[in-house]
Amino acid sequence: MNLNRYQSAYERYKEKIANVRSHEMVINMGPQHPSTHGVLRLELITDGEIVKEIIPHLGYLHRCFDKHAESMNYTKTIPFTDRLDYLASMNNSHSFVMGVERMLGIEHKIPKRVEYIRVLVCELNRIASHLIAIGTYGIDIGAFTPFMWCFRDREHIMNMLEWASGSRMLYNYIWIGGLFYDLPVGFEDRCKEFLSYFKPKLTELDELLSTNQIFISRTANIGILPADVAINYGCSGPMLRASGIKWDLRRIDGYSVYPEIEFDIPVGKGEMGTLGDSWDRYKVRVDEIYESVRIIEQCLSRLTTDFARTLDFDPRALVPKKVNLKEQDYYIRSENPKGELGFYFVTQEKTDIPRRVKARGPSFNNLSVLPELGKGVLIADLIAILGSIDIVLGEVDR
């Protein structure tokens, strides 16, 4: 009796697909289509070129993060967090590590140099992630050049982070209570050199896309997301800011050393069309790269003066041998390039294995608004809307 009830939604779904009207057609977009940015499958009910309904199917990249995290201790989970949003691994592990540090009560003891290095690598990673978002968005719409430019510049960041951590994308660099290693000697200089190379390139990229008439025609007034809908669906990050809401957890929670750093929060203004359209979402990301560059410059100047490298500095000094926590629960949130990344911990007494860890991925929530945004649009515009959400499937499916 009850079993039928638990199955009833699936039966209703099957019935809906079986009973589409004769002038409607069911189209599968993905999971192997490059414009879905990974293995996302969208089942579209279409009437000619018009999308009537979108049914997203997730889980093709489900790697059981929650189950892994509750079968091993906190330190061992850090490499798994890297694989959530694999385009911004530093930001993921930073969030996770902050959560454990706050539960341990050591978040105020972390040396300032460690905190500045964390912010530095996170912002480098944020630039890398936004470059991918912009580059692949261009290619979704048919602009090939920005894609090559973005990947060329991103590769410099990947090389630098590889130098620091030993790995190109999945770093395991930020540890509970400290870092894997101090920055390699000469990193600050190379980073400065990169910035002086990157800043003119960024302006060039901005000019290439933002004011391109074809790009504007494809993105302005497409996929308009009003602020109240964005909030109701739990959208965060550039998606929410593009709808005109100044909501950045780096400012609101003021975690790590962000309160000591000056930066602006770009919001959508509806310059080319309506507030909260795809162009605004794209533009917020471009503006955030400028802000990240500012943050990196400030970090570098602090890291070479007040918190300069000393011979006896040990970034692992505070790393606990065993994470001993009393029974408690804690929800940590932080600003990932895609939005609010949260981890909810439920700990257990007398063991360093948590009872439950839930990752709240920003892409998961940002994607959930797609069936609403894409109702009644053309199939070609759906690609433009999906690209502007900037999902990464590693985090949608976890």
Interaction site with another protein (CB under 8 A): 1-3, 5-6, 9-10, 12-13, 58-59, 62, 64, 66-67, 70, 102-103, 231-234, 245, 247, 252, 328-331, 333, 340, 342, 344, 346, 355-356, 358, 360, 364-365, 368-369, 372, 397-398
Amino acid, res. 93:
S
Q: Check: CB of residue 178 under 8 Å from CB of residue 315.
A: yes
Identify the helix (H) or strand (E) that includes residue 117.
Answer: helix 112-141
Cis before residue 31, ω within 30 degrees of 0? yes
Closest CA to 182 of 128, 123, 258, 120: 120
Comparison of 203 and 328: residue with beta carbon closer to another protein: 328
Shortest CB 3 distance to another protein, Å: 6
Which three-class secondary structure state does DSSP give residue 51? strand
Structure tokens belonging to residue 333: 């949130």
Comparison of 149 and 233: residue with beta carbon closer to another protein: 233
DSSP of 202-239 = HHHHHHHHHT-HHHHHHHTTSS---HHHHHHTT--THH
- Per this entry, what is the length of the chain? 398
Closest CA to 397 of 80, 84, 37: 84
Q: CA 280, CA 269: separation in Å to the nearest integer?
A: 7
Shortest CB 203 distance to another protein, Å: 33
Shortest CB 229 distance to another protein, Å: 8
Shortest CB 342 distance to another protein, Å: 5
Identify the helix (H) or strand (E) that includes residue 174.
Answer: strand 174-175
Q: CA 49, CA 277: separation in Å to the nearest integer?
A: 21
* CB-CB neighbours of 75 under 10 Å: 19
Comparison of 231 and 379: residue with beta carbon closer to another protein: 231
Comparison of 13 and 163: residue with beta carbon closer to another protein: 13
Shortest CB 388 distance to another protein, Å: 19
Structure tokens belonging to residue 310: 């000393």
Q: Check: CB of residue 354 under 8 Å from CB of residue 345.
A: yes
Shortest CB 274 distance to another protein, Å: 21
Q: Which residues of 290-327 are buried (b: 16+ CB within 10 A; e: fewer)?
A: bbbbbbbbbbbebbeeebeeeeeeebeebbbeebebee
Shortest CB 360 distance to another protein, Å: 4
Comparison of 192 and 358: residue with beta carbon closer to another protein: 358
Comparison of 97 and 117: residue with beta carbon closer to another protein: 97
Shortest CB 236 distance to another protein, Å: 8
Comparison of 16 and 112: residue with beta carbon closer to another protein: 16
Comparison of 241 and 302: residue with beta carbon closer to another protein: 241
Closest CA to 70 of 341, 345, 360, 332: 345
Q: Which residue has the tokens 């920005």?
A: 146
Comparison of 73 and 211: residue with beta carbon closer to another protein: 73
Shortest CB 193 distance to another protein, Å: 39
